[in-house]
Amino acid sequence: MKVFFDARQLGHAPTTYFRRGAAMPHQEQPQRAEILRDMLLANDFAITAPADNGLDPIKAVHNPDYVDFLPDAHARFVESAGPDALAIPTMHPGLRRGKEPKDIHGQLGWWMTDTSTPLTAGTWDAAYWSAQSAISAADAVAQDARASYALCRPPGHHAMRDCANGFCFFNNACIAAERLRKTYGKVALIDVDVHTGNGSLDILYARGDIFFVSLHPDPATYPTFYLGHADETGEGEGEGASLNILLEQGASQDDVLAALDRALEAIRGFGAEALVVSLGFDMAADDPLAAVQVYPEGFAEMARRLAALDLPTVLVQEGGYLGPSLADNARSFLTSFREATR
């Protein structure tokens, strides 16, 4: 299994964000990727630096104006607000009627939906190379690799077409799926991060060529809220090509595996020719953002069931935070998937 990661992905280093009305330490830390990288090296995974495929594959998924906003946004914010201010939006356009402003503070609110994506000096390079890792992983599969893994950090599945959200700037999984469409007629994207793949749902909702399925607790009562309800099944050409499988908060490992089986049955019914997995280890029972109860052996079984689809597969890292079992969960899933796809 080919693995892609670039050290520049460690450069995004947020310290705090606002959650439930209070400032708290940011969960999406560079150390997450360092733990996963070290686990990979300790288990004989060769890590390859991604190729630089430029902005076109990113702009194929995201609003080009949003992409162009990001490279110098942090520098512009610091120039306006000073080096000690937190680069998050403090005003929003409501229902998005209106026009993008020119002022950096207004632009932050235009292009970001929440306070979880503060910009830092290294954010642009990290987000850019995270996307490039996903693109290279997709290219490896399109060139006949059975499977690949993109150690994407920052993650991506909450990023919508034209805004950052939920720790995410570019939707790496959708970028990979779009890249695979150059080779395969039908692609499936399954999201097994504990949170709704709301960004992927936003991007793919009207498409019939990429089937999207997400396993997550009910968004009526659990972040990221708003999107991911069971009755959201797609629209237009995408009608029937989106599937949200809701879990109870506190769901057991067996419950999660049963939901996964439903998702896999739907992917088979779609006739997918290639697969992208939004892989979140925050399904873990001891994850700092835990909502369900999956353990290392459960991640291994998830890997075996996904591999049994027997599809060219790109694994794209999403959540999984600094809980005690992060390395164990990643080892269980990735070594099991590697063994099942040899």
Query: Mind spelling out the 3-state secondary structure of the chain?
Result: CEEECCHHHHCCCCCEEEECCEEEECCCCHHHHHHHHHHHHHCCCCEECCCCCCCHHHHCCCCHHHHHHCCCHHHHHHHHHCCCCCECCCCCCCCCCCCCCCCHHHHHHHHECCCCCCECCCHHHHHHHHHHHHHHHHHHHHCCCCEEEECCCCCCCCCECCEEECCECCCHHHHHHHHHCCCCCCEEEEECCCCCCHHHHHHHCCCCCEEEEEEEECCCCCCCCCCCCCCCCCCHHHCCCEEEEEECCCCCHHHHHHHHHHHHHHHHHHCCCEEEEEECHHHECCCCCCCCCECHHHHHHHHHHHHCCCCCEEEEECCCCCCCCHHHHHHHHHHHHHHHCC
Q: Is 74 a catalytic residue?
A: no
Q: Which of the residues 158, 195, 216, 229 is marked catalytic?
A: 158
Write out the two tokens for 228: 């991911």
CB-based contacts of 64: which residues, under 8 Å, 6+ apart? none
β-bridge partners, 4 = 48, 150
State residue 89 phi and psi, 5-degree precision: -75, 140
State how far the alpha carbon of 114 is from the alpha carbons of 17, 67, 107, 163, 326, in Å. 10, 17, 13, 10, 26
Give the active site residues: 158
